[in-house]
A and B are shown apart, each in its own frame.
Chain A
Amino acid sequence: MKTDDLVALLSTNPEPVDRGLVVRTLLVALGAGSILSLGITIFGLGVRQDIMISGALSFVVAKVSFAVGIFSLAFIYLAKLARPGGERKPRSYLVAVPFLVIVALAVISLGLAPSSHWNKMIVGDEWLECLVSIPVVAILPFAVSIWAVRKAAPTNLVRAGAFAGLVAGGVSAMAYALHCTDDSLPFVAVWYGGTIVLCTLAGAAMGPRLLRW
């Protein structure tokens, strides 16, 4: 076929295009992913018993804000990476800011505590549960994020996959924070930060296969 014929075929009665579609689809995915992970945490793992006690509540709020900060920043870059050439946008390293903040706070709190407490502060009671739960709960939000990015047209699949994983990890950590009773900053930095980074790496590894169009 001649290219001219193809152009003619495509340009008879073209539909007007919805310019907000990319962002809206990603927002739907983010919303659905959040509801799914919150559902799994609340009904599968259960909300921590002491959540209404004010001391515990403030820790939950802090952990949730850390996670929300991560996925909100990551979402902004994912919305760019979902479009052709979006990887040319600079400053995506800003997503590291919440991680640096939590690591800095963790180091400060370790410095203020006697070294005999360090082990307990870093390893906590539930490190293994945290290590398993955040990536597992992240699977569904990751799947819906990938679905939304596929509706667009990413051209750097490794980076788009990584950011889809980062968003999913952040959403999952937000939900898991409602269940987790380990409240020390070093614990959050190592196990929340570490598992979210793990989700990001998994997303980067799977991106080229899942996002091809």
Chain B
Amino acid sequence: MTTHEIELKALMLASLDGDAASHRALLDRLSHRLRAYYKGQLARIGRGAAEAEDLVQEAVLAIHFKRHTYDPAEPLTPWVHAIARYKLIDFLRRTRASRADVSIEEADAIMAHDDNVSAESTYDVRRLMERLPKNMRCSIEAVKLDGLSIAEAAVRCGISEPGVKVNIHRGLKALATQITRETRT
């Protein structure tokens, strides 16, 4: 078992309990690993860093929204690798590249390299946010972007506290769907 596995799994377990700092550190570190992985894979078929960045963000979104599917009895690396590979194969399918271009690798390949030179992805989240319903947009901006507490956000948006939580949850999902759609066009 590698040190990455041990450290990242500890972050994952804390993040599942709702620890924001761990969640951020986890997504941050995984995004570096994912970037190196996708850049390497896409270079093989002559595609660029912006597309690799789209894939990094799709995988980060999937890791965030599907984190309830991680079984703490299992190691984290194969779980992350399966998501990364699934998103890569999905990308190749919709861009009509051949699935044969995906190299066969061990799950550890996902942890092999670190790349923190991030590029801009091809979409603009502020523009996507404008398409969300008002309460979702207000709740996400208040809590996720401006860092207000749920109670403060409830006052600002004029809805109840449970309403803020529901709106954030639904809004982020809607945003993720739009991001996926955006990167597919």
A contact residues vs B (CB 8 Å cutoff)? 1-19, 21-22, 82-86, 88, 152-153, 155, 212-213
Contacts and interface: CB of A to CB of B under 8 A. Distances in A.
A1 B18 contact: no
A11 B27 contact: yes
Contacts of A13: 20, 143-144, 149-150, 168
A17 B18 contact: yes
Interface residues of B, number: 54
A15 B18 contact: yes
A85 B125 contact: no
Given A14-B64, A155-B85, 8 more contacts: A6-B125, A9-B144, A12-B20, A12-B145, A13-B168, A14-B23, A17-B16, A21-B68
Contact of B20 (A14, A21, A212): A14
A18 B18 CA distance: 10
B83 A155 contact: yes
Interface in B78-137: 78-83, 85-86, 90, 107, 118, 120-121, 123-125
B61 interface: yes
Contact of A84 (B31, B64, B86): B86
A1 B83 contact: no
Given A8-B24, A14-B20, A18-B68, A85 B150 contact: no
A140 to B, nearest CB: 25
Interface of B: 15-20, 23-24, 27-28, 31, 35, 53, 56-57, 60-62, 64, 66-72, 74, 78-83, 85-86, 90, 107, 118, 120-121, 123-125, 140, 143-145, 147, 149-150, 165, 168-169, 172
Contacts of B124: 1
B6 to A, nearest CB: 18
Residue with the greatest number of chain B CB neighbours at <10 A, chosen from A6, A18, A85, A212: A85
B61 A153 contact: no
Given A2-B118, A153-B62, A7 B69 contact: no
Given A3-B57, A19-B16, A82-B69, A9 B83 contact: no
A35 to B, nearest CB: 25
Given A12-B147, A17-B18, A1 B86 contact: no
A84 B140 CA distance: 28
Contacts of B17: 16-17
B28 A7 contact: yes
B66 A153 contact: yes
A1 B128 CA distance: 11
A1 B127 CA distance: 10
B18 A155 contact: no
29 contacts: A1-B121, A3-B53, A3-B60, A4-B31, A4-B118, A6-B60, A6-B125, A7-B24, A7-B28, A9-B145, A9-B172, A11-B24, A12-B145, A13-B144, A13-B149, A13-B168, A15-B18, A15-B165, A17-B67, A19-B72, A84-B69, A84-B83, A84-B86, A85-B78, A85-B83, A88-B78, A153-B62, A155-B85, A155-B86
